[in-house]
Amino acid sequence: MPIARNKLAQSIAPATVAAALILTTLGAAVPASAATPAGDSAQALPGTHPEWATPQADAGAADAAAPATARIYLAGRDANGLAALAKAVSDPNSAAYGQYLSSDQVQAKFGATPQQVKAVTDWVTGAGLTVSAGTNHYVQVAGSTAAMAKAFGTGFHNYRTADGTHRAPASDAKVPAAVAGSVLAVSGLADAIHKNSSNATSVREAEQRANAASRLAAPDKKAPATLPDVPTCSEDGYGSKTAKGAPDGYEKNEPFAPCSYVPSQLRKAYGVSDAKVTGKGARVAIIDAYGLSTMEQDANHFSSLHGDQPFKSGQYTEYVTPDQWTHEDECGGAEGWAGEEALDVEMVHGLAPDAQVVYVGGNSCYDEDLYDAMAKVVDGHLADVVSNSWGEIMHGTTGDIDPAVVAADNQIFQLGAVTGIGFTFSSGDCGDDSPGAAATGVNCQADTNQAQAQWPSSSPWVTSVGGTALQLDNKAGKYAAEVSMGDLRSVLSADQKSWVPALPGTFYFGGGGGVSKDFAQPWYQQGVVPDQIAKTAADGTKSKTPLRATPDIAMSGDLVAATLVGYTDAGAYSEGGYGGTSVSAPETAAMFANAIQARGGRALGFANPALYDRAGSKAFNDVNDSAVHTKRGNVVDLGVVSGSLRVRLYKIGADYGLSASKGYDTATGLGSPGKDFFKSFTIKKK
């Protein structure tokens, strides 16, 4: 069963397999000590026996005839050489910088050989399994649980869990020594499901979640009479319209929240307009689950409504396969991902209006389907930059992430790097993703068991993108300041004389980040990320050596300083404010497309080494919460939720467990793109 990431919380569910892929086999129970293939030593696959499969939860041997599937990822040739080349071509200080390979060259140099594929195929078919699918990267197998036990040298048992009884290997699976060098990892032996979460939410969704979770909802607004009786926002940025008559909050007369930003404002704020770059000559791929049938026309309509040019003919391409969509109930279906897709497409087009945009929709929110979408982009070299606005926690009450997911994803990221493709990933919307943040945060995974950095954002081979609350100059509309993306929230009390809960409210929404205890510090962070940060993981674990810190960069994404998105839902086009690092990731991908244009069309590839080379320069705005006056950091939001007018008070720049300070920090990384960002990439003509 594929491992996937949850929309809001990980869960465990039974595996299902297409009947055509199931072999008819024996009906006896599978013993816990199924033998390793005769005459051969074997190599264990750590992590294939999940943590939730404990002796105390053991419900006995699994039905031998029950259907099972697994995916065997292929190691290919020279994994160490692949990692070394990915580093060399990405490092501006390397002689090989920018000397990318073609997809065919990569396959010839690093791909699995026919002999490796045959060895793996012979092994699994010899155990009674069927090869149901395969690519350059993996072999998918199906069959009975008995055949799976024979192939992987372990029995399968059922285990009691919080949401039912589920099957898993009774011990770590094993791979015969003869094929061990050909196998990178194996996923799906346990039928636990982890689904991918979209790191975006609309203002309306967030309020509905918060009200449902806390049972705290202000009544229809009738007083104070000095407040407007219609939804109200500050048209000209922070502080331009005061909420007179609201109860005192962090100070008297807080301003109304800014109206949702549109792309032209973001281009102006981040120097795109001044640099006169449009992403021309660059290609950006966007990966989400499923696909919105009206995406191109919605994006064009949105652009036209807000003074921008729609896509030119052939500028937008999409790859979606609705006849192959699966797990729609678990993933929220196409409609559940529609806002995310619209946000991503409209942000990329809005900030890089001449870039080619390619949308690739995964057939579900499961890891394996999103992996397939990423592999499609890399294998076909469909883009120069790939924007991804989804992720998951790595450690939870249902166990840790499948190591196969990490290994397979990292291999794809490295393959992308050697061909000049860079990946951006949103860092999450739940602060440090701790149980404390998840207790009140509206876009958190409830089963987190520790503070942590999300995956794939924490991979050393991707650009992790955090969030900020952007503040515009009230008169000129240019960049004024930023604070970290993080909001505390209260609502107007029933008597409309105070705020509930009492100030400072509770954590509501915030950018992700933190130091990952799962990965060593990558070379590009050395000398930039201080040891006092890098040697302490998010959960407080101390390390003798530095670790991977996230995020790498940040851009506007706060839910209070929201971004406008428009798309067709239930047959009608509408617009609303969205927030999350799902906003920040496509914005950053668009900025990289603009940087490619500034480089004369030369691919930027995996961008992190180039970004860290610019640390501390004017290429970045050094986001620092303490440097921004608090009067710009508190806002009143007056809007409609579920048909009622609601008044809410927010303190911004108040992330959970994270904060922005001078220099590198785990809320905003190096900072946001500054006034010299594009200038620093410009290649002067000779």
Q: How many CB atoms lie within 10 A of CB 287?
A: 27
Q: In terms of DSSP bridges, do strands 486-492 and 572-579 run parallel, antiparallel, or are they unpaired?
A: unpaired
Of 46-50, 296-300, 604-608, the range with the lowest mean pLDDT is 46-50
| 337-356: pLDDT as tens digits | 999 999 999 999 999 999 99
Distance, in Å, from the CA atom of 482 to the CA atom of 653, rounded to the nearest integer, reads: 9
- Give the confidence band of 239 by pLDDT, cuts at 50, 70, 90: confident
Q: Which two tokens stand for residue 475?
A: 């008169």
Count H helices and E strands in the chain, helices first: 17, 35
| 382-413: pLDDT as tens digits | 999 999 999 999 999 888 999 999 999 999 99
Distance, in Å, from the CA atom of 561 to the CA atom of 255, rounded to the nearest integer, reads: 12
Task: Please give the pLDDT value at position 64.
Answer: 96
> What average pLDDT does range 453-473 have in this prediction?
96
Residue 171 pLDDT more than 80? yes
Task: Please give the pLDDT value at position 21.
Answer: 24
Distance, in Å, from the CA atom of 173 to the CA atom of 47, rounded to the nearest integer, reads: 9
Mean pLDDT, rounded, of the chain: 89
Task: Determine the angle formed by the axes of helices 367-379 and 403-418, rounding to 10 degrees.
Answer: 10
Peptide bond into 435 cis (omega under 30): no
Beta-strand runs (E) in 570-652: 572-579, 620-621, 634-641, 644-652
Q: Which two tokens stand for residue 203?
A: 């203002």
Cβ pair 323, 239 in contact under 8 A: no
Distance, in Å, from the CA atom of 125 to the CA atom of 120, rounded to the nearest integer, reads: 9
Task: Please give the pLDDT value at position 228.
Answer: 87
Residue 191 burial (CB < 10 Å; 0-12/13-18/19+)?
A: buried
Rounded to 5°, angle at Cα 207 from 201 and 208: 95
Of 30-44, 63-77, 155-169, the range with the lowest mean pLDDT is 30-44
> What average pLDDT does range 120-147 have in this prediction?
96
Distance, in Å, from the CA atom of 613 to the CA atom of 595, rounded to the nearest integer, reads: 15
> What average pLDDT does range 536-562 have in this prediction?
97
Residue 666 pLDDT more than 50? yes
Buried b (16+ CB within 10 A) or exposed e, 409-442: bbbbbbbbbbbbbbbbbbbbbbbbbbebbbebbb
Distance, in Å, from the CA atom of 56 to the CA atom of 573, rounded to the nearest integer, reads: 53
Percent of the chain at pLDDT > 90 equals 77
Global pTM reads 0.92
Q: Which amino acid type is present at position 56?
A: Q
Task: Please give the pLDDT value at position 209.
Answer: 61
Helix H, strand E, coil C: the string for 579-602 is: ECHHHHHHHHHHHHHHHHHHCCCC
| 11-68: pLDDT as tens digits | 222 222 222 222 222 233 444 444 445 445 789 999 999 988 999 999 999 999 999 9
Query: How far is CA 274 from each of CA 478, 480, 594, rounded to the nearest angstrom?
Result: 11, 15, 12
